[in-house]
Every structure is written in structure tokens, then in C-alpha cells.
Structure 1
Amino acid sequence: MEKGQVLDKRITLFALLWPILIETFLRMLFGTVDTFMLSGYNDNAVAGVGAANQYVSILILLFQMVSGGSSIIISQYLGARNNKKASDVAMVSIMFNLVFGLFISVILLVFSGKILGLMNFQRDVYQYSKEFLSILGSFSFIQAVSITISAILRSHGHVKYPMYVNMGANALNILGNFMFIYGMFGMPVLGVKGVAISTVSSQLIGLIVIFIILKNKVGLRFSVVEVLKMPKNAIAQILKSIFKIGGPSAGESISYNISQVVITGLIATYMGEYALQTRFYVFNLMFYIMLFGLATGQATQIMIGHLIGAGRTDDAYKTCLRSLKIAVTVSFIVAVMFFIFGKVFLGFFTDNENIITIGGMLFAITVILEPGRSFNLVVGFSLKGAGDARFILYLGLVSMWSVAVFMSYFLGVVLHLGLIGVWTAFAMDEWIRGIVMLKRWRSRAWEKMSVVSKEDKVGIETKDEELLQSVN
């Protein structure tokens, strides 16, 4: 797997950050393009697709349980210069997520309506949501494998290629939306169904391309037969290591998304149709505020994984704090811009004055919320990169449900503050978790949690100054 060797490259935060930033932006753009184009079709269609996407987000996080864990382990093995074990982890992770993705696809094909029925949507919103989820969910295995391969490429430092693939997939998605929403080129007007078909088609093409890139750039030739030939105890040990990190990491993210589903249910039940629509419109725009912090966290995690694998814990410690300062500063500036221009942005999606007015107030709270989220993202990803994923899970379970969910109900419903109360609860949750995570990082308890043993560290030179020069 010599093509996968990236430790001789000068990997800097900026070199990792900007492709991840663009790739994440393009992933978010999928949902925003769908929302924008559907907003001219029907506001309830927007709410329905937004509700379905919450479940899709949970599925993605389930797939990231493996891809995220394998990414961290591969980074640490590459830092230890053990390419053979890095390759084995990559093969097993692709195989597992392929099988798991196929299983989820069958479940959603059969039960998407019953799953959505758990939320108290009005009839039109439910119908649109079911149409979207039944199609997109039936092809979940595409996302499962694509996410895994992207994570493997990023671990090897090939962060540009997932960006290019997402760029092409977005272009195809936009073209498909035009065809099925507006009936271009003689295609039937399918509305929400058309958006789902367009999304799945573009994702499938992206998967084919990224498989080819994996073979050519990393040298990994995935084969089901080859994985099955691996010793069963070796596969079990790899999966154990992946789930040791990926399980708690995904569990924390799944808890967050489930808590958001519960809060969405509270909004739908107690605050009415306009509040629900406002929540989806504002959340779509808020993704772009958190974008830099998310990309910085992911880039920092790759760097810290390599540094931990190489035994450079002091450099890893400094890298997290340096990245945190950058992310908090940028997120605050972007949040202020959205506070100033938020109503204008909302006006691109809807002409409903109630939605625009309430949304403008929510962007004011976002100025306080987003810097706290940057603490969460950068320090959280750093702790995961070091192998300290369980702490993140336990903290998330306590704060998300006792602060985000409970205080959303108390402030939003009991005190009748509506979405203002919900957004205030969000800000409280982000800051509490962010501050506690920073204290955990400063304690340096994470230094003992690397999955790479001394026996795994082959060929590391004590005077290696080529790995991640940016931390010096």
C-alpha cells in the first residue's frame, strides 16, 4: 500500500482544511439546493423533506460509527508508519458498512412510513416526508460506502478528491432537480419524488468515481473475497478497535440527532406550522455558520491522529488549542454576518413575513451559540482523534437531554417563548459541553488512549521532522 504513504508530506492545517471545508460545504449544499428549489414548489414540501433529512442524518451517523472509527485508527497507524494494518482496517470498514448499509436500505424501504408516523406531522408534511425518505432511504448503502471511502482518503491526506467528487455530484443533483421539479427536457414533474431520485442518482455516480480514486491514489483494491480470506480473529480485533472509538463517537452524534427529532416534535406539536417551517429554514442556513468549525475539527482530528500515532503528544496538545482559536474567531465573524443579513437570506427561500421575522431573531441568538459550538467541534474532534471518545458520549448524553431537550420544552413551551426559548436552550447546551471538553483536553487524560501499541510503531525515526511540520 505504498501509494497510501503520506507521512513524508508536509501536512499543514490549511492544506487539510480548505478541501474539507469545500467538501463539507458541498455536502450541505445538497440539502440547501433541495430546500431552495422546493421552496418555490411548496412550503410543506420543504418541511417534509427537512423532517426526512433528520432521519437521513441519523443514518449517516450510524455509518460514520465505522468510517469515523476507522479514520482515526488508520491515521494513528499511518503516524506509526504501519501501512499494512492501516490497509486491513480500511478493507474491513468498507465491507462492514456495505453490509450494514444494505440492511438499513431494506428496513427503510419497508418501514419508512411507520417511522415517520412517530412524529406528529400534519397530513401534507407527512406525505412529502414519506415520499422522500422511502426513496432516499432505500439506497442508504450508497452513502454508507461513499462515506467510508471518503474517510479513508482523508486519513491518507487525500482530502481534495472527496471534494472534487462532491462538486460533481452536486452539479448532477442540481441538474436532476431542474429536470424533475420543472419538467425540463420533457421529464415529468415529480416534485419531492424527483428530488429524491436526483439525489440518489448523483450519489451513485459519485460512489463509482470515488471507488476508482481509492484504487488509484491509495492502492487499495477492495474485494469481498479478500476480506473473507482474512483471519476471523484479525477481523474481530479490527472491528473491536473501530467500535471502541467509532461506537461512542457515533453514539454521541446519534444522541444529538435524536434529541433534535424530539425537539422538532415539540415544535410541531406546540408551536404550529410556521414555527416548524422557520426551524428548517434557519437550520439550513445555520449549517453554513458552523461549516468552518466543523471542517477545522475534522482537519485537526487527522493531524492529531497522526501525531498520537507518532508519539508526539505535546504537539498534538498545542495543535488542538491553535485550531480552536482560529475556529472560534471565524465562527463568530460569520455568525455576525448572518445576524446582519439573515432576513435577506431567508427572503431567498420564502416571502412569509412571520418566518422571516422570527428567523431574524434566531440569528441574533446564533451569534452567542456558534462560538460555543466551535469549542464543541474542534475539541470534540481532537479528543476523538486521540481515542477519548467515551468521554464525549457520556457528556453528550447528559447535556443534550437535560439541557437542550428539557430546556427547549421549559423555555419554549412552559414559558411560551417559542423558538426563541428553543434556540436559547441550544446555546446553553453548546457552551456547557464546549467548556467541559476544553477542561478535559487540558487535563491530558487522553494521552493514554491511543489504539496503537509500541509493537505497531514500525520505522518511526526519533528525529522525524517531516510529519506535520505546521505544529512546530
Structure 2
Amino acid sequence: MESDTKKKLTLFALTWPIFIELLLHMLMGNADTLMLSQYSDDSVAAVGVSNQILSLVIVMFGFVAVGTSILIAQNLGAKKEKEAKEVAMVSLGANLVFGLLLSVLVIFLSKPLLLLMDLPEELLGEAGTYLKLVGGFMFFQALFMTVGAVIRSYGYTRDAMYITIGANIINVIGNYLFIFGPFGFPVLGVEGVAISTVISRAVAALAAIILLFKRVGGPFPFSYIWKFPKEHIQNLLRIGLPSAGEQLSYNSSQIVITAFIAMLGTEAITSKIYTQNIMMFIFVFGIAIAQGTQILIGHLVGAKKFEEAYSRCLKSLKMAIGISILMAILASIFSKELLSIFTANEEIIQLGSILILLTIILEPGRSFNLVVISSLRAAGDVKYPVIVGIFSMWGVAVGLSYLLGIHFGLGLIGVWIAFISDEWLRGLLMLRRWRSKVWLSKTFVEPKGSQLEVSNG
């Protein structure tokens, strides 16, 4: 980024490319599910459970990416570009090492992890194949997440979107070739989906690195990739570890809940996967608004513009709630048609329609968590969401899922009631925290003036 150039950051300018990128990420996952559903419902369940495990690995990478995003945004808001680039290089080196380590661990622990999920025996083979292949190359995802966080914090959200478009094209073409076998390609099913996923992620990581150096501009302190200076590592850990703790708690609690659902049979697992694939398109708006808001608030807090940061969060929250309710209602109206895209099983369609109807209550609660937690993180208040999250996710989501879904026999409907209770409890507590303004004292950098012009509109 040219030092004499002012780049105006607005919520809309940041959010629409993030929305498209997230939508394409979800389309990539849905492309796997939709294409595999033409091959085998069992394959869908196998990949779905494997991805639940891999989501935990992604959370582990995420703690560096989250810390990177917030520290760079605050440093840029405080006009400390040299320190921002140092953070970028330290983060890149740290997540590469971490990514390689976790990739190796997934390869060797794939079978024990799947057995912990209480997966039906007929799914173990395909799930293991997918987990080893995709998990073994997760370091590409670590690189992409880190570089993507840097690019977005500088305001170049469109670049990450373009990369994701390319990755999606590669992934869909690979799926088509390996699932349906045109032009003499071998029909590999789950293995083929795994191969195309790995290739697309590798290309995305390489493209992101190239764009980082092109857009942000030099000089970069490359020695920081392996130096790991104490100050930057400490700040990354101070933000990243609690943030990752909240995400880790959520994802691990979801794995336990998925294990409960597995007790209900393969059809229940498949119903959950199809329904959540549709729900993703509802809350993608909230995620995009939350991520754009996090970047803005990071810059505003770095520049000590606290009142603007405070009102920005509340404006974004109202927007996210309104959009989530509208999208949930539309999804409920067309739920049977949407579920029919994935399956012809009438029982799955009927159950999924009820779950999507309950989503009208669930999604506004989720909006509180997406927007307000992102705002608290951007301001440096990262411990409170973890404490509340662990209590609510395990005490409410997991506890009620078993009580209502298994003990009282309500099945997936009971699980969804547990999800609703968890999201609303956490969300209201987060809003109370933001309004208390405790976060005012938790910023990580001191300003020298603002290099980027940030709009609160």
C-alpha cells in the first residue's frame, strides 16, 4: 500500500467482498455435498463427520489469524506500518510451523479421532481416507488464513474474494472429474473430493502470498518469519489464544453433539448436514458484517476513536439481526425445495423443514454473537467471550442436546432447541459486555495518528 495514499474504509466496501468470499467458501463445501449426494448418502455423512474434526484443526490455525487481523488493524489505525508488517511476517512463520505440525498429527491420529466420534462402521473407510488426505495438507489452509487476515486488515478484501473464486472453480472441476469420471478419469468418490480440495487450497495459499507482496508493498522484514520476537508473539497469544479458546470450545462442543446425533443413526447425521448446509447461507450475512465490523473497530480503537467504535458495533448488530430474520423466513418458506436439491428422502425433507423453521428463532441470537464478539476482540477484550462461551456451549448446548434430544427422545428438534438457548444466552451477555464499555482499556497499541481514513457510515 502506498504510504501517501489514503484508503477509505467503510463497512460496505469491506463487507461485500467478504460476503462473496464466505459465500463461495460455503458453496465449495456444498459443492462437495451436492456432488457426493449423487454418488452416495453414506459418503456425504463420512465427509461431513471428517470435516467436523478438521474444523477443530482450522480453529487451531485461527488463533494466529485472529490475532494477526486485530494487531495489524490496531497498528494501522495508530499509523504504525512498520510494526504491522512485522506482525504479518511473524504470523506467517508461526502458522506455517503450526500447520505442518498439525497436518502430521491428523495423518497419524485419523482413525482414533473417527472412533471417538462413534461413527457407524460402514462410514469409517471413506471418512478415514478423506481425513488423511485433506488433514495431511492442512498447512496450506494455515497459510491462506494467515495471509488472508493480513490482506483484509489492510482493506483489500476483494483480493481474498478473487482468490476464493479461483479456488472454487478448481475444486468444482476436480469434483466433477473424480466423482463422475468423464474423459476417462477414474471415479474416486470421496478420495477424489479430497484430492480436489487439497489442490484448490494449495493454489489459494500461493496466490494469497503473491498478492500480499504486490498489494501491501515493501519493504517486508522477512527475517521475522523465523525470528519470532517476544513482543509480537506475546501480543498474538494474548489475543489469539482466548479467541481460539472460544472457537475451540464451540467446535469441540459441536463434535460432542454430533456424536449424540450419531446415536440416532446415519439418517439423523445426514439430516443435520443437509440442514446446516442451508443454514450457512442464512448466517453468512452475519459473518460478513461481523468481519467487516472487526476490521473497522480495530482501526478505530487503534486511533482511540472509542465513541465511533461503540456506535459502529450497535449499527452493525441491528443490520445483522434484520438480515438474518429475513433470510431465515425465506429459507423456511422454500425449505422443502431447498432440501430436495440434496435428497429425495421424504423423512429427511420433513425433519429438515422443521429445523429450518426453528432457525427463524435461532439466527437472530447468533447475530449477537457474531457481531458483538468480533467487536470485543477487535477492541482487545478477548477473555470474557471465552468464559461465557465455555459455560454456555457446554452447560446449555451440549447439556440440553443430550437431555432433550436423547434422554427425552426429541431427536434433532431437541438439539435445535438447545442451539437456540445457547446462542441467545451468549448473545445477550455479549451485548451487555459491549454496553458496559469495559473494553475501553484493553487496546494493544498507542496511536501516532491515523494513516487510513475510516468511515463509521
Q: Return the TM-score normalized by structure 2.
A: 0.97
Question: How far off its partner does 1:467 sit?
Answer: 2.1
2:242 matched to 1:244? Answer: no
Distance 1:353 1:73, change over 3 A: same
Distance 1:206 1:220, change over 3 A: farther
Question: How far off its partner does 1:227 sit?
Answer: 3.1
Give the share of equivalent positions with the same residue, in percent: 46
Q: How does 1:121-136 map to 2 (within 5 A)?
A: 121-136=119-134
| Aligned counterparts of 1:133 and 1:332: Cα–Cα separation in 2 | 35
- The partner residue of 1:339 within 314, 332, 348 is 332
Match for residue 467 of structure 1? Answer: 453
Distance 1:139 1:222, change over 3 A: farther
Match for residue 17 of structure 2? Answer: 19
Match for residue 247 of structure 2? Answer: 253
Match for residue 375 of structure 2? Answer: 382
| Aligned counterparts of 2:302 and 2:13: Cα–Cα separation in 1 | 20
Q: Deviations over 1:212-233 (max 9, x none)?
A: 10110012577865533x5x6x
Match for residue 94 of structure 2? Answer: 96
- The partner residue of 1:165 within 163, 166, 177 is 163
2:353 matched to 1:360? Answer: yes
Question: How far off its partner does 1:185 sit?
Answer: 2.5
Match for residue 259 of structure 2? Answer: 265
* Residues 95 and 224, structure 1, Cα contact 8 Å, conserved in 2: no
Q: How does 1:31-42 map to 2 (within 5 A)?
A: 31-42=29-40
- Number of positions where the alignment pairs a residue of Structure 1 with one of Structure 2: 457
Q: How does 1:318-329 map to 2 (within 5 A)?
A: 318-329=311-322
Question: How far off its partner does 1:88 sit?
Answer: 0.4
Match for residue 115 of structure 2? Answer: 117
Match for residue 211 of structure 1? Answer: 209
Distance 1:390 1:400, change over 3 A: same
Distance 1:239 1:172, change over 3 A: same
SS of residue matched to 1:469: coil
Q: Return the TM-score normalized by structure 1.
A: 0.94
What amino acid maps onto 1:145 in structure 2? L
Question: How far off its partner does 1:417 sit?
Answer: 0.7
Question: How far off its partner does 1:202 sit?
Answer: 1.1
SS of residue matched to 1:311: coil
Question: How far off its partner does 1:424 sit?
Answer: 0.5
| Aligned counterparts of 1:3 and 1:166: Cα–Cα separation in 2 | 25
SS of residue matched to 1:117: helix
Q: Deviations over 1:196-217 (max 9, x none)?
A: 0001011111111111101100
Q: Deviations over 1:69-92 (max 9, x none)?
A: 111010000000000100000000
| Aligned counterparts of 2:98 and 2:413: Cα–Cα separation in 1 | 39
What amino acid maps onto 2:238 in structure 1? K
| Aligned counterparts of 2:433 and 2:300: Cα–Cα separation in 1 | 19
What amino acid maps onto 1:401 in structure 2? W
Q: Deviations over 1:310-331 (max 9, x none)?
A: 0100000000000000000000
SS of residue matched to 1:470: coil
Match for residue 154 of structure 2? Answer: 156
| Aligned counterparts of 2:236 and 2:455: Cα–Cα separation in 1 | 28
Match for residue 180 of structure 2? Answer: 182
Distance 1:302 1:341, change over 3 A: same
| Aligned counterparts of 1:13 and 1:47: Cα–Cα separation in 2 | 37
| Aligned counterparts of 2:402 and 2:214: Cα–Cα separation in 1 | 52
SS of residue matched to 2:118: coil
* Residues 94 and 225, structure 2, Cα contact 8 Å, conserved in 1: no
* Residues 45 and 266, structure 2, Cα contact 8 Å, conserved in 1: no
Q: How does 1:41-52 map to 2 (within 5 A)?
A: 41-52=39-50
Distance 1:5 1:370, change over 3 A: farther
Question: How far off its partner does 1:410 sit?
Answer: 0.7
Match for residue 83 of structure 1? Answer: 81
2:56 matched to 1:58? Answer: yes
What amino acid maps onto 2:422 in structure 1? D
| Aligned counterparts of 2:119 and 2:368: Cα–Cα separation in 1 | 34
CA-based RMSD: 1.5
Question: How far off its partner does 1:449 sit?
Answer: 0.4
Question: How far off its partner does 1:363 sit?
Answer: 0.7
* Residues 4 and 218, structure 1, Cα contact 8 Å, conserved in 2: no
